[in-house]
A and B are shown apart, each in its own frame.
Chain A
Amino acid sequence: MKEIFVRLDRCQGCKSCEIACAVQHSASKSLYGAVSEKPGPVRRLYVEMAEGSKVPLLCRHCEDAPCVAVCRTGSMSQDPLSGVVDRDADRCVGCWMCAMTCPYGVIGRQAGVRKAVKCDRCKDLDEPACVHACPTRSLVFATQSEFMEMMRKEAATRIAREAKGLARA
């Protein structure tokens, strides 16, 4: 099961992910079309600035997700196989219980309508639009074990280089 991971040190804050997310959730699914749509499409992830760092925040699709637990109408649900938390627009009444419980603040509002929107991990795509758009590969779409393997390789390379440097010195 693949998830979206973030490598914080790589984010340049270009917000390409935000643009791609909005475009993917637009009617036309094209940048030039999306910019003239009314209401405009809404992004579901957010690049924030904190402590001098650029931090892309997006739904973590938590196990036993609090937004699902508090949803009174059953609009929020979690797919038992993929773990993806999604929302049924028809059932959403805009009570914002999900927004109040989300620890990452990534429940948005559909433009002009009292309905929640959130990351659906681009179910129709092989790779979510945000990951695809990220120019520095700050966003990574991988299984947890693949991601850890990648991080281990990076760490190993770093350690090996440092060790070689020390040996030379």
Chain B
Amino acid sequence: MILAVLPLSRFVLGLLCHLSERKARLLAVVGWCISAALTVLLILETRDGSTITVGLGGWPADLGIVLRFDAVSAAVCPLVLLLELAAILYVRKDAPRPLFYALLQFLLGAVFALLLSQDLFNEYVILELLTLVGFLLVGYDRRPAQVWASLKYLVLASVGMGFFLVGVAVVYRHTGTLNLGLLAGILADQPDAPWVVLAATLLTAGVAVKAGLFGFSQWLPAAHSAAPPAVSALLSGLVIKMGIVVILRLSQVFPLGATLQLLGAATALLGVVYAAYARNLKRMLAFSTLSQIGYLALGLAIGTPQALAGVLDYAIAHGLFKGLLFLAAGEASRAVGSGRFDDLVSKRAAIPNATVGALLVGTLGIVGLPPLAGFGAKAVLLGSHPNVFVATILVLTSIGTAFAFAKLLPLFRFRRAASCPSDRIAAYAVLALPILFFVPLTGVTLPSLQLGSGLRPLLVVESVGAIAIGVLLHRLSARRTPRLPRRIFFLEEAVLAILIGLLLVYLFLSV
């Protein structure tokens, strides 16, 4: 029964933050404490693998809306709490207006609501709320580049949700229900019904726009790199995962496997290519987010329970280190005055040591150095017996990520540099410590993630090898960066890409 309190408390606090301007930060901390307490209670109750279900209003699944706390919710809620704590600590120095804290509460309320949701239209409304709040946060400083990036985000996300809504219409017409549990039952009886392909296409294409899959999410590089640092951390670390969570729930109802493989592979590879040749740190991080989402999609495509555990592992791990990287990148850019690599390297004395340390931990995590967070999660994914195609793409992406992040090597020299405010250091620590101690921590708190099963010596060799090859390739490659086509990220081209993507998804699903 306390399930509903998790998102609702956030909404109440968001309203209170807006009403009481001076206590906004205190209210944000109160919100965190309430959610933390509830999450701990819920995780403790579901440690044995059970789920908690509540029919809101007392109505059953075929009449009302049902909330459910299951393994996916249990896995992602700690990530939400850690990222939120880091964000609150990070922005303390900037003293943002109360509206920022209010929007933050609404964002997190929507995230919790989505993690508990089991209803298609409920997911639609929550995704729209996430779009709206994200759009406002990206454009928060009101600089023209941010305003344009967030407008692009809004238009494309709206179009995507339009497709999703038509998909909901098709599903409702042929099943009479919107509850995911009931839908799974109906579709298990008639898996080959002709309407299933159309519905799956529309729903998946709609969510793909929000989830970060290539072809559908051309708004991502601009929006994630233009946003204020704490917002980028939350968007890349958390909000984009919500799209993947919805795709996960859809894949439990509809047969999506092969399509996700191709989409995931394209996203992963194209993301690293663009990341490798980006000239701006935050843009590189945004492209890297794209490629890591491809990882998650590939993991979903494998479909086994161990692969699902790997996807959740990696979602948490990526949330942690991408959040840390964005926070540190924001501080570094501000200290140097520019986000370009040339400037960062030449003026690295201006960057505080703590920030460089945070960048180091984040980089080690994302390239998958054992035994940090990234390695543990990748090990589970690779250890879940993927087919040759998926395994190759995963390895290639690891090499590519190392190649892209090797650009940061010149920054990692520790010397006497400017000092960093203690709030920021605390923010980095909140995220860095779980990255460093990921394997033992999750073994205790989230046993369902089965991390121990993935740690085999071969995988250690493979990880270290991929990192080494990537760095070597970077050393050997020419210094000139080729200009990759940027027009595909413009608004109109992005709409065309969504259309083409939808046709391709339909093609692959009907085969």
Instruction: Please indicate whether A and B come from the same complex rather than being unrelated chains.
Output: no
Q: B residues bordering A, Cβ < 8 Å?
A: none
